[in-house]
Structure 1
Amino acid sequence: MIRRYLSLVVTASLAAVAGLAFHRVFGLRPVLPVAAVAAVAPTVLAGLLSGPRRAGRPWPLWISLVLTVVAWTGTVAVTVLRPALSDGTLPRALREGVLGSWKSILTTLLPAPAEPELLVLVHVLVWLAAFGSAELALRTSLRAAPCLPPLAAFGAALLLGVDGPGGNLGLAAATVVLIAVLVLVRSEEAAWRPLLAGVPLAAVLGAVAFAAGPYVPVGAEPYNPREQVRAPPPQQRDGVSPLDRVGGWLLAPDQVLFRVEASRRENVRLAVLSRFDGVAWSSTARFVPTGSRVPAAPDAAGGSLRTSAQRITIRDLPGVWVPAADRPRRVDGLGVVVDPDSGSLAAAALLRPGQSYRVASEVREWRAGDLADAGVAQDAEAREAMRLPWGPGATKPPVQLEEFRRFAQNATAGAVSPVQQAAMLAVRLKSYARYDVTAPPGHSYRQLDYFLSEGRRGTPEHFAATYAVLARTLGLPTRIMVGFSGGRPAGNARDMRAGDVMVWPEVKFDKLGWVPFNPTPQRSDQSKDSDAVAAGETQQKLEQIQRNAASQQRGGGPDKTPQTPPPAPPAAADPPLPWWVYAVSIAGPLAIAYLLAVLLAPVLRRRRRRTGPPAARIAGAWRQALEHLGDVGLATARTLTAHEVAHFGAGHLGETALDHLRPLADLVNHTRFAPAPPGPHAADQAWEHTDRLGRLVTAKAGRLRRLRRRLHPRTLRRDRP
């Protein structure tokens, strides 16, 4: 009885460890109480229902199933879903938590927010694992079977936690230890000495697994179920592009849009616009929810990284785009969705004055050596960022494209590298037109042509959009950023006003990523604005490097065609796999399937023999005894009587075997020939003798020999020997 309830402690611990594996999804603090309650409550319930009801039998399983469903509903309502219970939305919260939480987790960048509807999934999985494990421990004799439900819950946590922060190596080692302890506790040995010696060995096994885990070679990326689930769009989207707001903001320059508290000045970006259709620039962002974390850039980039922490308070900033410095990595205090590719942030709802949040960003800094020999990026994103569509409904290319190409070639004549082309184009635009906040907004082909040919005055919108189009005619991949630079001092913070809006283009280089350029000239009235601060320090250093690159015209004259990097050679095709790889891929699963079959067949056969009426159980005990004797040389028993089999066992196992074989033979003969059927007590005695005989055979033949015989194909026969 002590071993029985001790096994419940181990199964509850296994279920709790499986629940803690969800820490990569939500973090440890929200998961810990949920896993503890969901592991202990069903285990206690199963233990209470396992007591004898009448005639020494436990309560039927269906009663346990009904009661555990009722208990789970009440427990989750008063713990995880207590807010929903208070406001009367419990049925909806239960339905969403059980049916839809998994999809919400798979479409959220981890860690996911610890919302009650999402934590319901942890609660129900751990509860089912603890209940199933406890019932298997109480109702079956299979030693390791109770570990299967917690392992299933652990596997679900691993799948949902792919790409989450942290790791589960320690929990995996703890699971190994608990499984070993569970097998020892459920051992049929009556002595406690093996258990006391086995627990330290199990702990050593777990320590070895924990230490060796980081060195286990992994041949492939883990399967990520998020790739199979498409993220939903934000619930509310801003119908007005930030680029279209630039002209209006510049006409009301003193309107405070948000406040930034930071130890270092950085340009703040608002939106990334990479798609141009000939009329307007728009975002290609595919937003997914996130609890707080923003993933790193998907492609490797050059330069050095520096961490920047900011606290931003919203004032009159409209829309849903959330400002942050460079590449944000963590956002706290505001529910946001994020585009993993560009790092753009958007609020789940329209921004409101007074909202405040903290953002930690990675700011990239470049040195002159990083940019010197950089080539143009050739990946799919870069190729898309070189496109120059003809325009909606157009059937032929616009005439402006050829004019733009000639302007760009003249502006970059003599450049010997893509970086020099990009820098010279920015310098040319700065001196070609002047800054004018009253210039009519717009950035279509026709409006950009007017800006270059007649107007020659514009806002950052015109300079950045013109640069992006001109650079694309040279084969440089470009996109447009809308953000803010400078600001007005406000104590230890800066107020970002509408007049501080800035638009700048970025060019993508191989092994460097997106590098910003500034083609916009300085405002004529900026020197008079005494309460403004300079642009970000990182941007100032980068612009100086680019000016130096533009001034170094090596080996070229005014008529020299700019050199573009040659296209990357096509990747060599992978060689075909050798024949033995296919052979192993076929033979491996077959070998594993055979191994599982020959190991499980005797277990299932023994379980089948122990069930049924008393006469069938006694016959099953006799067949099991014959199978044991087969391991010490008994070839067949068809021509032998039961007592002759008993004398064979005594000759090979010693006289002690007669103490079990003779009573077993008498029970078999009584079952076959007596007029009255045997009772349950006789069947229990028969199996007790058979189990003790099995131990004698193991001591005589050895475990290794018995294992080798079990691997023989005859193990799959219905009856042996």
Structure 2
Amino acid sequence: MSRFQPFPARAGADLAVLGTLSVLGVLGLETSFGDYNFLLAGLGGLIVGTGAAILGFRLRLGALVGILATILAYFLLGTPFTMPAQGLLVVFPSVASAAGLAVGAVFGWADIVTLGTPVEAPYYMPVLPYFAAWLIAVVGSMLALRWLPRRRRTVRRASALLAGPVLLYLAGILMGTDEPYLAGLRGVAFAVIALVWLGWRRPDSDRGDVPGAGRQLRRKLAGTAVVVVGAILVGSLAGTAFAPVPKDRFVLREEIQPPLDPLAFPSPLAGFRRYTKTLADTALFTATGMATGQVLRLASMDSYDGKLWNVAAADDEAGGSGSFRLVGRTIPRPPLVTSVQSSVVTITDSGYADVWLPGVGYPSTIDFDDAASSAEAESLRYNAGSGTAVLTAGVKSGYRFTTRAQLQQTYKDEDLEAVPVAAMTLPAAENIPDVVVAKAAEYTGGADTPIDKLRAIQKALKTQGFLSHGLASDGVPSRAGHGADRIDELFTRSQMVGDQEQYAAAMALMARSLGYPSRVVMGFAPDVPEGAVSVEVTGSDVTAWVEVAFDGIGWVPFFPTPDQTDVPQDQTPKPKSVPQPQVRQPPRSDNQADDLLTAVEIDDTKKDDKDKGLVLPGWAWAVIGLIGIPALLIGGPVLVIGALKARRRRRRRGTGSGDVRVAGSWDELTDGYSELGFEVPRGTTRLLVAAALESQLAGQDLVGRQPASAGLTPLAGRVDRAVFNGREIGDDLVQLSWAEALDSLGIAETSAGRLRRLVSRFRIRSRRDWNTQDWRKRDTSRRK
């Protein structure tokens, strides 16, 4: 008896077609990943899934055990295809890679539709194409090897094999971007291969003579040619006529909102005074590579509700300031920027603690330079339109990251004279004070073009106002906040007094009142000496400015804050006419302005304490990865199957009347023989089953032991008499039958060899799994 089950004749071609169609489906993910590493993962999943299914079939493993074997192969062999950097010696699974293979299969589907493209983080994202291809390969291979050969082949049944590749192809479309990858070519190739395979794998009709068979072959060839030509023509014409334009394509990433809600974090501008008062002399971070006059962006805010300038809600406008996407090292290109220069700046954090990530210009790549911060970088989210990055885990002391960014090109005012502002939709600015609208009209009375009006507003604020951060050393107090009452106060007092928070907020509202797309940007403007390599940024370097979008140009910055700090004392308003700001009760949001950012400080005490308790040396993790994980993956299924077998034996031996328990001993014996790889005939008598097993057992090498065939036939006769004689069966006969059955099964295990005994640990059989071969016919043919 062969230990390996023969390979079905047509299964090879079926598996080849299944693999080719799956590759065409996986290729649809190219627009999401941007490179071809995902294809290596997809091919690896096909190889592992198909190979494990074939091996389980050849070793005569049952369907359940075969599935467990493919899961084991998924974890043991998936590391080099998906996460070689996390593996032990690249190819062996580690704790990190095993966890990634599990997490990626579950959460990768949700991540890929919320990640910014190209998808590079989290580290387990290549698991998605690997898992998808592996799952399709396993299911399709089992259908081709176990299900389809046992049934009459029809087009409907053969089409079941195409369900998996079709779903994979649709997944590549839905999880891609609005720019398809070779959509026409892939679609035509998929249709041609599927139709031709269905036509050629139909069951052959009865062939009468050789000329008839020849005519049938010629008809098949002609039909195949017609199908191929028709698919190419129809696919090409239909694709050209009916294919949607990129912006109208339906992809999930355009329909599903990112999970980040930026309004969960306080407005950066609300905490402006915290930097100028509490952190004025605190070193926040060191910036290396900045040029003289360059500024660091922290956050861009385009939504105003009468209390705060803030980023918009995530569902306000697609691509607005609230639309943050999870990104990796590579950052999406901004939609509106003209750049002829790039900058590389490295930031080393020393005292900055917030979620808003400082950077220059519009980043194209962000690299975290140490392992600790790289792990946290998987929470990096970015808004390409506003140039704002958020690290949801919080920026921590000691972080070091390098940003390569595009810098917005600067233009002279005369270059923008004929340029209109950009036509774009921003969140509405609500509750704008009437004095703001009146002052905007007053300041822009003699200007005609947008750039002239904006420069007029900027000049009026810079020359007529005075700078004060509300410090004790300032000559005139200046209340914090930029709500409607504070902006109204800025213009109604005899002198305008405030800092960047109030002046930037006011100018942005004036621009909005004129119908211009404006936003407030908060950041840092350190004094970088000529030739300096690095500069230390402190809280006193905080600043804010206004940006207005010009058509085809980008966001042009305006700095309306005055430089004058000495307010004329004789122009200070009298307390009787205007209440002093110190005693005036500001809105509730203003009372908490200086403390707003403290809510995002992250307390790592418990986390650090917990981490210290879990610290293990490197060799211990290596042992866990090399021994623990394989032992768990192998031992787990063995324990589960062993428990099922023990439960089956207890029920057969202890449940029911005496004749039922005697019959249970025979069922236990035949199931055990089947699990060892013996062919147990089905649908015949116990005596014939005993004869068939004796003939197989006689051919085994028993290493000097007496063959068990002498005990099978008497046991079969005893079981028949107990079942059919109608008498009550005592416990002594039950115990005798079970003892003989287990003894015979033990001898069969010895004769089967180590490999078959090992495989039997992963198999659990029942009568429906036995061989359906008619042993009487086979014995007759042997005698002939």
TM bracket (short chain): 0.5 to 0.7
Hey, which bits of structure 1, 4+ residues long, moved more than 6 A? 81-85, 92-95, 187-191, 193-214, 234-237, 262-265
For residue 31 of structure 1, report the CA deviation from its aligned partner.
2.0
Match of 2:520 among 465, 470, 480: 480
**1:473–1:11 Cα change, 3 Å:** closer
Name 1:415's counterpart in structure 2: 447
For residues 361 and 42 of structure 1, the distance between their equivalents in structure 2, rounded to whole angstroms, comes to 44
Give matches, 1:97-496, under 5 Å: 97-115=104-122, 118-138=125-145, 139=148, 140=153, 142=155, 146-163=161-178, 175=190, 179=194, 182=197, 186=201, 218-220=243-245, 221-233=248-260, 238-239=265-266, 241-242=268-269, 244-245=271-272, 248-249=275-276, 252=280, 255=283, 257-261=285-289, 266-284=294-312, 285-297=322-334, 301=336, 304-306=338-340, 308-316=342-350, 317-333=352-368, 334-335=377-378, 336-339=380-383, 341-352=385-396, 353-361=398-406, 363-366=408-411, 368=413, 371-375=416-420, 379-381=424-426, 384-385=428-429, 387-389=430-432, 401-437=433-469, 438=471, 440=478, 441-452=480-491, 453-485=493-525, 487-489=527-529, 493-495=533-535
For 2:263 and 2:517, the matched residues in 1 are separated by: 30
2:557 is matched with 516
The alignment partner of 1:291 has SS state of coil
Q: 2:367–2:401: 8 Å Cα contact kept in structure 1?
A: no
Name the structure, 1 or 2, with higher relative contact order (CA <8 Å, separation 6+): 2
Check conservation: 1:273, 1:480, Cα contact below 8 A: yes
Gaps in structure 1 of 5+ consecutive residues: 54-58, 390-400, 526-678, 681-721
Distance across 1 between alignment mates of 2:262 and 2:456: 43
Contact 1:378 1:510 in 2 (8 A): yes
Contact 2:176 2:251 in 1 (8 A): no
* Equivalent position SS for 2:257: coil
Contact 1:412–1:425 (CA<8 Å) still a contact in 2?
A: yes
Tell me if the contact between 2:121 and 2:327 (Cα under 8 Å) persists in the aligned partners: no
Change (3 A) 1:467 1:345: same
CA distance 1:65–1:197, shift in 2 (3 Å): farther
- Tell me if the contact between 2:52 and 2:69 (Cα under 8 Å) persists in the aligned partners: no
Q: Distance in 2 between matches of 1:50 and 1:102?
A: 30
Distance (Å, rounded) in 2 between the aligned partners of 1:154 and 1:264: 52
Number of aligned residues: 502
SS in 1 for 2:446: coil
2:423 and 2:325 mapped to 1: Cα distance?
26
2:720 corresponds in structure 1 to none
Deviation at 1:426, TM superposition (A): 0.5
Cα-Cα RMSD: 4.7
SS of residue matched to 2:357? coil
Moved more, 209-218 or 15-24: 209-218
The superposition leaves residues 155-200 of structure 1 with CA deviations (integer Å, 9 ceiling, x where unpaired) of 1122111247966666556646754774687477899x99999999
The offset of 1:415, in angstroms, is: 1.7
* Structure 1 residue 262, shift from structure 2 partner: 6.2
C-alpha separation in 2, matches of 1:378 and 1:461? 27
> Pick from 16, 39, 42: which aligns with 1:9?
16
Aligned residue for 1:245, secondary structure, equals helix
SS of equivalent residue, structure 1 residue 126? helix
Residue pair 2:50, 2:138 contacting (<8 A) in 1 also: yes
Q: Write the distance in 2 (CA, Å) between the matches of 1:48 and 1:78.
A: 14
For residues 672-694 of structure 1, the C-alpha deviation after alignment (integer angstroms, 9 at most, x for no partner) is xxxxxxx99xxxxxxxxxxxxxx
* Displacement after TM superposition at 1:271 (Å): 0.5
Indicate if the aligned counterparts of 1:111 and 1:292 stay in contact, CA closer than 8 A.
no
Partners of 2:487 and 2:506 within 8 A in 1: yes
Segments of structure 2 that go 5 or more residues without pairing to the other structure are 1-7, 88-92, 205-212, 313-321, 369-376, 567-772, 775-784
C-alpha contact (below 8 Å) 2:297/2:524 kept by paired residues = yes
Does the residue aligned with 1:325 lie in a helix, a strand or coil? coil
Whether contact under 8 Å (1:262, 1:493) holds in the other structure is: yes
Q: What are the Cα deviations for residues 115-140 of structure 1, in whole angstroms up to 9, with x where unaligned?
A: 46544443332123223433454524
Q: Residue 757 of structure 2 aligns with which residue?
A: none
TM-score, normalised by the number of residues in structure 1: 0.58
Question: 1:245 corresponds to which letter in structure 2?
Answer: F
Shift of 1:145: 5.6
In 2 relative to 1, CA 2–74 (structure 1 residues): closer, same or farther, beyond 3 Å?
Answer: closer
Residues 427/235 of structure 1: CA separation in 2 closer, same or farther (3 Å cut): closer
1:580-617 CA-partner distances (Å, limit 9, x unpaired): xxxxxxxxxxxxxxxxxxxxxxxxxxxxxxxxxxxxxx
Distance 2:552 2:483 in 1: 31
CA distance, structure 2, for counterparts of residue 185 and residue 203 of structure 1: 13
Give yes or no for the alignment of 1:71 onto 2:70.
yes
Asked if 1 retains the 8 angstrom alpha-carbon contact of 2:528 and 2:535, the reply is yes
1:18-37 aligned within 5 A:
18-37=25-44
In 2, Cα distance between equivalents of 1:488 and 1:256 = 15
Q: CA deviation at 1:442?
A: 2.9
2:45 corresponding residue in structure 1: 38
**Distance in 2 of aligned mates of 1:156 and 1:237:** 32
1:394-420 CA-to-partner distances (Å, cap 9, x unmatched) read xxxxxxx34434333322221223332
Cα shift at 1:153: 0.7
Determine if contact 1:103/1:229 at 8 Å carries over to the other structure.
no
Deviation (angstroms), 1:424: 0.5
Instruction: Verify the 8 A CA contact 1:415 1:421 in the aligned structure 2.
Output: yes
CA contact (8 A) 2:267 2:308 kept: no
What secondary structure sits across from 2:431 in the alignment?
coil
Contact 2:269–2:309 (CA under 8 A) maintained in structure 1:
no
SS in 1 for 2:426: helix
